[in-house]
Homo-oligomer: A and B are copies of this chain.
Amino acid sequence: MYDKLHEECGVFGIISPKPVQTVPLTATALLALQHRGQESAGIATFVDGTLKCKKGMGLVSEIFSHDYLNFVANTKIAVGHVRYSTTGSCNIENAQPIETVHSKVSLALAHNGNLTNSAQIRRELVQSGMVMHTSNDTEILNILIVRNIIKTNDLEKAIIDAMNFVEGAFSIVIATKDKLIAVRDRNGFRPLCIGKLGESVVFASESCALDALGAEFVRDVKPSELVSCDIKGNMTSYMLDRASQSGLCSFEFIYFARPDSVIDGISVYDARVKMGRALYRQKPTEADYVCGVPDSGLQAAMGYSLESGIPMAPAFVKNKYVGRSFILPDQLSRELAVNTKLNPIKATVEGKRIILIDDSIVRSTTSTRIIKMLRRAGAKEVCASVRRRLSTNVISASTSTAEKISLQTITM
């Protein structure tokens, strides 16, 4: 369950011609984007021209309680972020949005992505006398932008220059006291879309956040595009100077995004069903039931079932109350970790041949454990088909022959 890539984050922004409940609306949108990151969450807004930011470790619902949202000032602009931790840096300093308060401009920046030349830029900035407060890439963006604004006094140009300077993947929302800006890298590696909610304009990582607000989907931000929206809701589009090369990260469709989102014109749900259909066509297998590993394996399983005609059945109950916070003492932990999260439904699997569809695999340990769990629950035979990390492979593991796991590569 832990052998997956976790590089996603969720970003959201809203700008309105008159003061509205931008902070509660942003919290609601972040809740809809919570699957993209559960480590920390934050919202920045401008109260009477002053940048205010609340960030915390944990879930949106823990950080932005009813008590909190109930008293909050109505404002015209807000930007929010949910974060998935990358390597080790699990602390509040790395929570976003990152704020920069400068006499020329105050801004809050929410960033989904990874810069590839950040170490080098950081070194140059430090050598030029900059003091860095965090260990994350996002602060570098803030500094580059503000430094450019000091020179040029042009917000959009300053951001475009900064974005042309960095390499890597990013979808970004930036709030100043009177503008909301969205930028997407030249490959469009991470999703970002535009919506309308009454007179307000919103930007969000996924369309499911628009649905949560009852906002209307307008269009996706294009790769290499910067969209600047002023306080009256007028949007202007600019292009970064380098052309697009590849495209959206395939893991967005495989398991990052929510199935009810539509990204770059493609329904995530449909994409997963198609993957499941392809999986069957590439590796047709006979069985009694097709079963998906919750949650994102379920849609590919449906595709496999539709293509093969083998009925789909639930093999597991996932305990939704097992969160980050419940960690058993060490010894118990090792024994019970999988049990507490997933439990097989014996009534489904007993005596049956099961095709198990998972969304992806990094190491095979979790899959092996899940397969054993099904065997213990009485499954006669288990054939696991999953997408292998990076190399786009699929493991087919027949544990009927004990511990031997044969790997078979197929194109998905």
Contact = CB atoms under 8 A, between A and B. Distances in A.
A59 B260 CA distance: 28
A317 interface: yes
A155 interface: no
Nearest to A73: B73
A58 to B, nearest CB: 11
A332 B20 CA distance: 11
A175 interface: no
Which of A69, A306, A323, A347 has the largest number of chain B CB atoms within 10 A?
Answer: A347
Counting every copy of the chain, the complex holds 4
16 contacts: A31-B326, A31-B340, A32-B343, A47-B71, A54-B67, A65-B326, A67-B68, A71-B73, A72-B329, A91-B91, A91-B92, A258-B317, A260-B316, A260-B345, A302-B313, A306-B311
Given A91-B92, A267-B346, 17 more contacts: A24-B328, A27-B326, A28-B332, A32-B319, A35-B321, A38-B321, A56-B67, A61-B326, A70-B330, A71-B71, A72-B73, A212-B340, A212-B343, A214-B335, A260-B346, A269-B314, A299-B314
Interface of A: 21, 23-25, 27-28, 31-32, 34-35, 38, 45, 47-48, 50, 52, 54, 56, 59-62, 64-74, 91-93, 208, 211-214, 258-260, 262, 267, 269-270, 298-299, 302, 306, 311-314, 316-317, 319-323, 325-332, 335-336, 339-340, 343-348
